[in-house]
Amino acid sequence: MAPNRRLLLSALLLLLLPALAACGKRGEPDRPSGHKTPERTYPKPDPVPWQTTPQSKTP
């Protein structure tokens, strides 16, 4: 029975793969080929202490 179950699972997976792939692309608007999406610009994060320029420690 195990080989039949494996065959059934692989057949189900092959049937479901296109549906799963379509789900991921459903949220994206259709773009003409060759059209590049503009790069997203994110606000720069605050610099962490080891990336800032060293300051003198004299009071």
- 47/53 Cα distance (integer angstroms): 10
Which has more confidence, 27 or 10? 10
Report the chain's mean pLDDT, rounded to a whole number: 71
Residue 41 pLDDT class (50, 70, 90 cuts): confident
Mean local confidence (pLDDT), 7-20: 83
Is the pLDDT at 12 greater than 80, yes or no? yes
Distance CA 9, CA 15 (A): 10
Which pLDDT score, from 0 to 100, does residue 25 have?
A: 63
